[in-house]
A and B are shown apart, each in its own frame.
Chain A
Amino acid sequence: MSEQSTQIRDAIAQAIGENPVILFMKGTPDQPMCGFSARTVAALQALNAPFAAVDILPDPRIRQELSALSQWPTIPQLFVNGELVGGCDIVTEMYESGELAETLGVDQPAAAEPAEEPAVGARPMGIENRLS
């Protein structure tokens, strides 16, 4: 591993250690560059949970080193208290079940609406949209 890769990996590890809630994403919370990152941001924002965000797009080595560190291949990645919680699917599932609020130590708003369409399995019937 090159010295620079080590430096990037150390910086990532430090960021995860210093921020109780940190999201590695494509783009920024104000301007997500991928639907999965956008949906994950929306779940956090729906809970009014403060979080740090790192845009992985400016340098491909950020993503490489992050995935090597977390053993998780895709972006986004949400860490809470130094632990990988998951990517978009897991975060969305946990948001809908209330587990995300619990993990973050915040209150689930009474009228919490899912950030987007609920996952297929969350519906009472297994109907899928095959029109799009």
Chain B
Amino acid sequence: MPTASEVKARIEATIPGATADVQSPDNVHFNARVVADAFAGLSRIEQHRLVYAAFEGELGGEIHALQLKTETP
């Protein structure tokens, strides 16, 4: 099971320049706030898809839930 710091590292590796603040009470449910220049001009859907791309196939499985808030700096 991934830890909050692994989830943070995955998000930051997937989106260059992103800063992720990730919390998890149980390593199954995660709460992430992601700030990235790359979100500029994108819809919320597109912003969340960029983050989801770090977890191909794992969301809903190992990572039961990823509560997400995306922002530009």
Contact = CB atoms under 8 A, between A and B. Distances in A.
B19 to A, nearest CB: 14
12 contacts: A72-B52, A73-B57, A73-B59, A74-B66, A75-B60, A86-B48, A88-B67, A90-B45, A93-B69, A94-B44, A121-B33, A121-B69
Interface string A79-108: 000001111111001100000000000000
Nearest to B65: A36
A89 B69 contact: yes
B66 A120 contact: no
Given A73-B52, A74-B66, A75-B60, A86 B33 contact: no
A31 interface: no
B69 A119 contact: yes
Interface residues of A, number: 21
B60 A120 contact: no
A121 B32 CA distance: 11
A89 B58 CA distance: 18
B16 interface: no
Interface string B26-66: 00000101000000000011001100100101011000011
Interface of A: 36, 63, 71-75, 84-90, 93-94, 119-121, 128, 132
Contacts of B31: 120
A120 B71 CA distance: 13
A90 B33 CA distance: 13
Contacts of A120: 31, 33, 69
B44 A132 contact: no
Given A72-B49, A120-B33, A128-B23, A90 B44 contact: yes
B45 to A, nearest CB: 6
Contact of A132 (B25, B49, B60): B25
A105 B52 CA distance: 29
B69 A71 contact: no
